[in-house]
Structure 1
Amino acid sequence: MTSGRPAWLDRARAAIAAADRGYFQAFAPPPEGGRRSSVMMLFGPAEGGGEDVVLTERAHTLRTQPGDISFPGGKREPSDASDAAAALRETQEEVGIDPASIDVVETLPEIYLSPRKFVVTPVLGWWREPGGVDAIDPTEVHRAVRAPLAALLDPAARFTVSHPSGYRGPGFEFDGLFIWGFTAGLLSAVLDFGGLTQTWDRSVERPLPDRYRPGGPRDALTRTATEGRA
């Protein structure tokens, strides 16, 4: 099946391009930079209508962020021609999606994840020829899902994640996946930019599950909820 991308995705692209620089400046890399990586925010037509987004559950054997929910992605290699090329390659390696089936919609501004000194470039993509997703690389990915936006946008699936350290940020839950931190903040922001977000009760708080606590809040975008940006 081939499908044209929805109007909201182009609205999100235009809104990101027009956003006040200050929105992204809070997350900009320092002058010395850091280790470069890319993630693919891949949306596509969902079965039964609407759209979905590809999410991965990181392998539970990884030394860092085991079991966390993320977008496909990883380190940029010297052979990658661009940040978008890195995101496309990693998406193919991790979940088996053919890069030729993806349209790159927009490359977002760089985001600095200070705990690990990563400079991450989010890439917005449209999967015009969707199919199944598989954990092609079990050393990196425990499982992959296509999460329907209708389920993620349901106010009942949204909440504020809290941590004893004082961290507060947006959260989603779908099919047993607890989505928080960088992934939830970025997803929330793009849904906001696209004009899809439904009113949800930010006063509903859920503690960060113990399985995610060893490293504490690890992400630059954990600040977005406190600052009212995601």
Structure 2
Amino acid sequence: MRRLVDDVPMARSHRDIRGVDARGLTNPRADGRSAAVLMLMSGTGSLSDSLPEDATILLTHRTPTMRSHSGQIAFPGGRIDPDDVNAVDAALREAWEETGLDRTAVTPVAALDPVHIRASGYPVHPVLAHRHSPSRVGVASPAETDDVFHARLHDLIDPRNRLMVGWSGWSGPAFTSHGYLVWGFTAGLISALIHQAGWEQPWDRDTTLDLSATLEKSRNNEPQLNQIRFLR
């Protein structure tokens, strides 16, 4: 994971987070609200620079009845509360609330530069972490999340599981995993992570698929795009 935190921090690479970073497009929230997400990687580890075969990243499926971002694939996370010590504390708390993750099994690696969400103006702080000890995860808050799973990183890197999707003038990277479509903010961060770590393989960036049609073929069960508050 050294490549993810050495040199230029990953969140400063906007190459694959197109449409998500709101620099020059919207003002930050006047109320000072911000959020944090946990990018939790697991794996046996290696002394080499190669990615372990069992390397995974933790993802959740947001319950389709949620008021916002319903049916989308997301990292565990949410708003930073006044009682949270910092973004890392908030990300770990949210992960426990959503998935039952034991924070004592997690080593925070880096709090990356915040990325702003275009629609809301929220600065979101990605927290990169490694699960160093076994910790069972699952659906801990059904009202928020109805599926929790470890996405195998080698599968996400596989060009067969990578695609570009677009809608209403926007386009961005996406992934297929466990029958779901991972897109928007979450896919942008995963794509930037893969690129920054040097794990990327050539994939088709030139063909952009219709987001609505692609979602219809997935398990996401998202509302119609004209009801989606753009973007997650």
| Residue 196 (structure 2) pairs with residue 193 (structure 1) | yes
Q: Deviations over 1:8-55 (max 9, x none)?
A: x1111114438868879x645846554211000010017x93300000
5+ long unaligned stretches in structure 2 = 45-51, 217-221
- Please name the residue that 1:219 is paired with: 231
Query: Aligned with 1:202: secondary structure?
Result: coil
1:158 to 153, 162, 185: 162
| Matched AA of 1:188 | S
Partner of 2:54: 50
How far did 1:176 drift?
0.8
Q: In structure 1, what is the equivalent of residue 185 of structure 2?
A: 182
In structure 1, how many angstroms separate the alpha carbons of the residues matched to 2:99 and 2:29?
Answer: 32
Q: Which runs of 4+ in 1 moved over 6 A?
A: 18-24
Partner residue in 1 for 2:97: 93
Relative to structure 2, which stretch is displaced further, 93-102 or 207-216? 207-216
Determine which of 110, 114, 121 is the counterpart of 1:110. 114
Q: Which residue of 2 aligns with 1:5?
A: none
Q: TM-score, normalised by structure 2?
A: 0.81
- Output the aligned Cα RMSD: 2.5
Residue 39 of structure 1: aligned partner: 37
Q: Which residue of 1 aligns with 2:219?
A: none
TM-score, normalized by length of structure 1? 0.82
**Where in structure 2 are the equivalents of 1:63-78 lying within 5 Å?**
63-78=67-82
Secondary structure of the residue that 1:43 maps to in structure 2?
strand
Which ranges of structure 1 fall in alignment gaps of 5 or more residues? 1-8, 221-230
Corresponding residue for residue 13 of structure 1: 5
Report the Cα offset of residue 214 of structure 1.
2.8
Calculate percent identity across the aligned residue pairs: 33
The code of the aligned residue for 2:194 comes to L
CA offsets per residue over residues 152-201 of structure 1, 9 Å max, x none?
A: 111000010111x1111001001111000000001100111111111111
CA spacing shift, 1:193–1:217, aligned 2, 3 Å: farther
1:123 equivalent among 122, 127, 130 = 127
Q: Across the two proteins, how many residue pairs are aligned to each other?
A: 209
